[in-house]
Structure 1
Amino acid sequence: MKQTHYHTCNLCEAMCGIEIEHRGDEILAIRGDKDDPFSKGHICPKAVALQDLHHDPDRLRHPVKRTADGWVPISWDEALDETARRLHNIQEVHGKDSVALYFGNPTAHNHGALFTLLPFVKALRSRQRYSATSADQLPHMLAAWQLFGHQALFPIPDVDRTDYFLIIGGNPLASNGSIMTVPDVKGRLKAIQKRGGKVVVIDPRRTETAKMADEHHFVRPGTDVYLLLAIAQVLFEELLVAPGRLDDILDGKKDMARLVANWKPEKVAETVGLPADAIRKLARDIAAAPRAAIYSRVGVTTSAHSTLSAWLVYVINILTGNLDREGGVMFTKPAFDIVALGALSGDTGSFDRYRSRVHGYPEFGGEFPVTTLADEMLTPGKGQVKAFVSHAGNPVLSCPDGQKLDQALNNLDFMVSIDFYINETTRHADIILPPTGQLEHAQFDPIFQAVAVRNVVKFTPALVAKPEGALHDWEILNGLTTRLNRLRARDRKTRLQIAATDRFVRRLGDRGLVDLGLRLGPYGTGGKVLDDLRRNGLHSLPKVAWKVLRGERKGLTLKKLLAEPHGIDLGPLEPMLPERLFTRDQRINLVPALYFRALQGLPAPKPVAPEQMLMIGRRHIRSNNSWMHNSQRLVKGKGRCNAMIHPDDAKRLAVAEGDDVVVSTPSGTITLPAWLCDDIMPGVISVPHGWGHDREGVQLGVARKVAGQSVNDIIGSSRVEAVTAMAQLNGIPVTVEPAKGAKSRKKAG
């Protein structure tokens, strides 16, 4: 019998509602859910690929162990027991920091994994923690912590009410938004224009978003910081600074004026690639707009001076009075308030409390930058990483120096991956623990609801029951946590506490944790209980949880949310300052010491050698990093793993459309077909990341046929951002040459 199931697509950040027509486990059709109050029927091409992923024959459905004869299935008890025992034994011999952890982008899309992640991290007790954060949004998080007191308190563009939307280094028409959950972004940008507003894009490439914008300005990769400093300088020089009501809680305005005084547009114009008059006009337009929002993403946050650039974007929003006002950038009021709940432990963020062993890189939020991961494994000595745990990540393709990381993973004593694919990273594992698939577990988005352009909430049950013998991510992580804690327990009392915690988590489950968070949130009735938790600490959570879950039911609960299968619209973003600030004095310091020092040390821009070009990345609507290339629906058609080159550069290089070109750095070379296009700035080359699926042992049948090459194989991990040491993935100097004797490859990935 045909049935209709309402779900949320979890293949990017947009949280589009979908309607799935199915007959049992067989998916018949996937359409946009017109009754979803947030996405209103919009979906992108990725949503229909959920069918491919659900039925993918390459998906692992039981734990496997590497043997001399290949991968063999093992039981869950054997897999979890052996994993915990081997991790424990390695730490006993080599120290607690001999085990490293890496969590990939899909972890953020899985609420069960998010809820059980912290206990697992605590059970492992290692400082060797890594994630996609340091190859993506770390500068945004650092700026949020420094300015607003919490690393997850992001100001989100109020795109539905703004009059002027400036996008720097972002392409939301391809990404569907990022740290800005925004389904149907094209429709929303058109609405800005329809009501008389403007959309302006600054990018070295005329992206899909730039093509529909009112203005597009080419800018040289890695020079965002100089452009932003010049815009701030004009604001002060022309008396356009007007923070509005925030002036009463703002410190450092005079310091900011002094810091930018010498960065006149004329000083940076040649470096940036924009005339001084154009820079001045940008500043004036931002200041003159009734309501303006400035937004930046990975083009900025993975560039040479990303720490300063991300901070300056927030600062300009503040200086022009566009923080915390309708149509500007605003803070969300999510039903499951991860910001407030996360602050219960007192951990709102951290930076440089300790440093990495090999390179002395600073931690951020308890993690080291991925730029040191391979060297921590390869460099002998006390504290060398001997074992590795990965969850839903493929750092061999998504992090710099993929070939070095390949080598490092191959030399480990033990590796375990929580993943349902044997990909470029997990092929090195000794044990793989595959969780349920995207439609086999419930979907709730505490992170993306907290960065959405409207306050919305939705919980969707699984399409089908969990297959017999399968485990969800949260069950795997909880199982490992309990086993690790048991191995370290020294007395009966501790063992009883561990058993009680395990029973509590399993009894509560991922649904119970969602219900608890909703009740403790701003639309629930647990405010007093939240105060008790703040006073008594998180150790009292098990006792408090049952009290809350059995208590008053007038506010928002999971039961009420389940009665709304399309989700609930909780209204537009609202002004929330100063109450929402987590700074000690509930004030905003425009110039924290960290940024003052970084600005003092900002070097003059280095000219690019005549024989070199600058390489940037490229996003596509049918892709998301490295993890969707095994869907035929998403990779069909013309190959996308190519080098976008301006025709003037192609003429200089004597390269024609489709000719193979060799792209080189000191770290290595890759060979790709050329795509000649005047949408790229002369002197710049664009190559997408996440491809290169032809490594030995990878079991991704579709992806291997369109393998492409991994751009991160030629991006060295030694090229790091000056303050945080995070990966620099954009603005990489490369040498481009025609491949000898190679012409027009049919397959490009």
Structure 2
Amino acid sequence: MEKVKITVNDKEYYVDKDRNLLQTLKSLGYYIPSLCYDDRLEPYGSCRLCYVRVNGTLLPSCTTKVKEGMRIVTEDQEISENRKTILEMVSNQISGDLLKEKEISEALDKYGIYYEPKEIKKELIDESHPYIYVDMNKCIKCFRCVRACDEIQGYHVWRTWFRGSKVLIRPDGLDFGHSSCVSCGLCVDVCPTGALEDRTIAINGWPNNWVNTICPYCGVGCQIDVGTKNGKIIDIRPSKKSIVNKGNLCVKGRYAWGYVYSEDRVLNPMIKENGEWKEVSWDEAITYVSQKINDILKRYGPKAIGVLVGARITNEEEYLAAKFARVALKTNNVDSCARVCHEPSAQGLEDILGTGGATNTFEDLDKTKTVIVIGSNITENHPVIGVRLKRLASEGKIKLIVIDPRKTEIAQYADIFLQLKPGTDVVLLNAIANTIISEDLIDKDFLNKRVDGFEEFKQVVYNYTPEFAEQITGVKADLIREAARLYASNKPSMIFWGLGVTEHIQGTEIVYLLIDLALITGNLGKEGTGLMPLRGKNNVQGTAIMGAHPKKLLGAVPLSDPQNRFRFEKIWRQKVPEEPGLDAIEMVEAALRGELKGLIVFGEDLAMSHPFRKMAEEALSNLDLLVLIDMFHNETSKFANVFLPASSSFEKEGTFTNAERRIQKVNKVIDPLGNSMPDWKIVMKLAESLGLKEYFNYDTPEDVWNEIRILWSSVYGITYERLENQGGLPYPTPELDKEPIKILHKDKFTIGEKARLKPVMFIPSPENVTQEYPLILITGRSLYHFNMGSMTRRTPNKVIFGEDILEINPINANSLGIKDGDLVKIASKYGSTIIKARISDRVPKNVVFATVHFPEQSINYVVSPNIDRISHIPEYKVTAVRIEKL
């Protein structure tokens, strides 16, 4: 950005041209009061507190841009008197006590305005919201809350009522708790007086310490500032410094941290005796586990034991868990939920381009012109990025194409919405490719220089005309053509996708086709282009690359390559087993056959998440040893022998990797509760008990990270110090003194000079509707809960969303005599469950949608066991079912 010279109070500075003057002055260390301004909002200029003298003229600094040669005076007698007058008027509007940490208190103190609390009006207090306390006695009509909800979130919850001296700010419902609020907390952040405040702050006062760390929920990887008081978490705020979330959070990241202090959190090791859990010491538990492991290894060998890793733990812990499987257990039977949900993304990107990660970063959203969102309820599952897309689309800055069986919130902002039948993605994408080729919308230069296999690809898509696709997908041919033209012509273009793409029998092949579309249009290797798989959990991208994979080592290098194994053996000083291991699906099948005898599970509820739950339960009950390392008992606990209490991410140090390949520092906020322990220490204890301490001898997570850096050159340039100073770095960052490679495949692909297109033929799911099972079930998450809900169900989020629901179209509901809120039985060939119906036109006729968070409903009793043909992950998105009213 161009620099210009300005003078502030007779001091010269070189600053960014055309930047907001108020921001500039604050960054230079000058105090400028402002009550209507927030960095995240468009400047408003109504409170007049931020006026400064510019070249002799009084101007509002919030709406004034920096120009060359400006001479600025931040404070003189006239400015000071004006500010005092305004502040006196403002202070006369408010009642009740003020927190000294609020902006209004700071300004009053700065200018010597004495504020005496006045009697409050009880009718201006609203306590209906589970997280936010409303006291409009403190409202000064700055309208920050209204503008934040309108401009940034797009929900328009806070509204201005009446005019002049009678103006009031009220929510859009009967009260705040029954409004359309999604509990992002942004209105609280921008409120300068405490009229809107987090309930925890209203009860406990302001934190006395803040620590920056990373949200423990989805793969967006938002940075958060965690406030503590007397060593206990009392509040979380979004980091304004983060390039990822830019001062925004969703309800989970902002408020759903209470699970840390849940009464049912397990804080001591436990062993199950005669069907009952008994608390024991760490030594007893670890000794018990090591004896069982040794017995299994001695009697059945390394093939009879495995490790399953969840994606909530740090990169360092993921790496150690995978290393433990190979060094201590001598097996490659190690898998993770990252492979089970997003392996088609990683495998597809790796097969065609050479690297199994997003090609660009979230920063490219500011440079793109067209975005496809396919198979992702992005505003609920990745809300911070979803809200950003909403804003860009509503402001006309991007064109938006949404492809989904459900009419999700983001579809309402789409220029083109393609509502396809579940499981027909291959046909639709081939038809888009058909249109691009037949209408000569391909990027010929890019194809000639960087792409192979075009003729073969062209022959395959030839028969997938939009008219043919309309018959299979239900999407009008004209809409398909319109979407194809927009993506191919209004460039640069990006594609975002979620589990609605990957969790199919052709999930990997659907990813192939998304890559094919980017290749034939030249939407790769440039700013504003690319492919972005939206990872589900906070560290799915990290887990996928840290070696918790039956066929790949750290860095996703093939286990089958002797040179790779030799490299690891040199550092580990132990032989790496050569034979590929079992993945999670195969481990359950092996346990069912009695071949797998032991399983160690880090932070995953296998019983509740595995498809065809009845089979999974039978398999788990067959195990001689099932060790659960977690914070809470869950459905898998029913089959476990040992429970080892893990620390939350707030109680440890390490790193997470978000969906855009950005590695960020996780910082310890509080000490581990009770006798819980970080997963990396648990792995070390297990290794020591097996006589392998010398191979797992680390003092800190940084020691583990430095070993990772040695083994994986792509992150060698990423040190803890750089992460602390720079706030997160995408990999590859191979050198200490170089910037990260944000855009992959600029000049050549990781796989080579050219990428080869992969044509895909459509294979229908075996889950066909019949007279007995006339509906198709798809599954997914809600905004308020996360995966199996083990964390969010232990927070007030459960007050907002208290049980799983089944969305059913009004036509189907009417024919079955089902009313909104009725309990219904949903059944497939594999099982059934009872769930509450929600009548909704978000799902089309003959399609139903269920959330997956509550064990009381456990929709995985119903889900089919069909799996992806290439990546071997479950087809959670297509199951033939019937619905019965109870």
TM-score with structure 2 setting the length:
0.67
Alpha-carbon RMSD: 3.4
Alpha-carbon shift at residue 337 of structure 1 (Å): 9.9
Q: After alignment, is 603-612 or 80-89 more displaced?
A: 603-612
Q: After alignment, is 183-192 or 674-683 more displaced?
A: 183-192
Determine the structure 1 residue equivalent to 2:825. 662
Native 8 Å contact 2:359 2:745 kept in 1: no
Instruction: Map 1:250-269; keep pairs closer than 5 Å.
Output: 250-269=451-470
1:688 aligns with 2:861: no
The Cα offsets for residues 725-749 of structure 1, whole Å up to 9 and x where unpaired, read as 421111211112222xxxxxxxxxx
Determine the structure 2 residue equivalent to 1:745. none
1:715 aligns with 2:882: no
Q: 1:12 to 1:150 in 2, by over 3 A?
A: same
Native 8 Å contact 2:259 2:792 kept in 1: no
Determine the structure 2 residue equivalent to 1:621. 783
d(CA) in 2 for partners of 1:285, 1:304: 29
Determine the structure 2 residue equivalent to 1:241. 442
**2:350 maps to amino acid:** W
Determine the structure 2 residue equivalent to 1:302. 503
d(CA) in 2 for partners of 1:351, 1:241: 38
Determine the structure 2 residue equivalent to 1:187. 388
Instruction: Map 1:401-550; keep pairs closer than 5 Å.
Output: 401-445=612-656, 447-448=657-658, 451-452=659-660, 458-466=664-672, 469-484=675-690, 486=691, 498-503=692-697, 506-507=698-699, 509-514=700-705
Determine the structure 2 residue equivalent to 1:489. none
Q: 1:128 to 1:112 in 2, by over 3 A?
A: closer
d(CA) in 2 for partners of 1:568, 1:408: 41
d(CA) in 2 for partners of 1:413, 1:563: 48
The Cα offsets for residues 209-268 of structure 1, whole Å up to 9 and x where unpaired, read as 223333322110000011011111122222222164464232111111112111111112
1:676 aligns with 2:839: yes
Native 8 Å contact 2:311 2:543 kept in 1: no
Alpha-carbon shift at residue 30 of structure 1 (Å): 1.7
The Cα offsets for residues 564-619 of structure 1, whole Å up to 9 and x where unpaired, read as 6x667999975442667442x4431213xxxx6xx458359986335511111132
Alpha-carbon shift at residue 131 of structure 1 (Å): 2.6
TM-score with structure 1 setting the length:
0.79
d(CA) in 2 for partners of 1:716, 1:604: 11
Determine the structure 2 residue equivalent to 1:66. 272
d(CA) in 2 for partners of 1:2, 1:29: 11
d(CA) in 2 for partners of 1:641, 1:30: 27
| SS of equivalent residue, structure 1 residue 439 | helix
Instruction: Map 1:693-708; keep pairs closer than 5 Å.
Output: 707=856
Alpha-carbon shift at residue 166 of structure 1 (Å): 0.8
d(CA) in 1 for partners of 2:777, 2:285: 43
Determine the structure 2 residue equivalent to 1:120. 324
Alpha-carbon shift at residue 186 of structure 1 (Å): 0.7
The Cα offsets for residues 406-446 of structure 1, whole Å up to 9 and x where unpaired, read as 2222232111111121110023211111121221112521x
1:732 aligns with 2:879: yes
1:588 aligns with 2:755: yes
d(CA) in 1 for partners of 2:532, 2:822: 48
Native 8 Å contact 2:515 2:531 kept in 1: no
d(CA) in 1 for partners of 2:559, 2:517: 24
Determine the structure 1 residue equivalent to 2:347. 142
Native 8 Å contact 1:139 1:310 kept in 2: yes
Native 8 Å contact 1:203 1:218 kept in 2: yes
Structure 1's unaligned 5+ residue stretches are 178-182, 354-364, 487-497, 528-555, 693-706, 740-749
Alpha-carbon shift at residue 156 of structure 1 (Å): 5.6
Native 8 Å contact 1:249 1:578 kept in 2: no
The Cα offsets for residues 319-349 of structure 1, whole Å up to 9 and x where unpaired, read as 11101111111699x9x99999979978534
d(CA) in 2 for partners of 1:502, 1:51: 31
| SS of equivalent residue, structure 2 residue 837 | strand
The Cα offsets for residues 128-174 of structure 1, whole Å up to 9 and x where unpaired, read as 33332454112112112211224446566732221111111111111
The one of 310, 315, 337 equivalent to 1:132 is 337
Native 8 Å contact 1:369 1:727 kept in 2: no
Structure 2's unaligned 5+ residue stretches are 1-206, 534-538, 563-578, 731-737
| SS of equivalent residue, structure 2 residue 348 | helix
Instruction: Map 1:374-393; keep pairs closer than 5 Å.
Output: 374-380=588-594, 384-393=595-604
Determine the structure 2 residue equivalent to 1:636. 799
d(CA) in 2 for partners of 1:724, 1:185: 27
**Higher RCO (Cα < 8 Å, 6 or more apart):** 1
The one of 757, 760, 763 equivalent to 1:602 is 763
| SS of equivalent residue, structure 1 residue 715 | coil
Native 8 Å contact 2:496 2:531 kept in 1: no
Native 8 Å contact 1:377 1:385 kept in 2: yes
d(CA) in 1 for partners of 2:622, 2:542: 42
Native 8 Å contact 1:720 1:727 kept in 2: yes
Native 8 Å contact 2:748 2:754 kept in 1: no
d(CA) in 2 for partners of 1:437, 1:28: 15
d(CA) in 2 for partners of 1:340, 1:223: 30
**2:829 maps to amino acid:** P
d(CA) in 2 for partners of 1:339, 1:738: 42
d(CA) in 1 for partners of 2:618, 2:744: 49
Query: Which protein is bigger by CA-based radius of gyration?
Result: 2
Determine the structure 2 residue equivalent to 1:10. 216
Q: 1:152 to 1:368 in 2, by over 3 A?
A: farther
**2:619 maps to amino acid:** A
Alpha-carbon shift at residue 298 of structure 1 (Å): 0.8
d(CA) in 2 for partners of 1:351, 1:224: 33
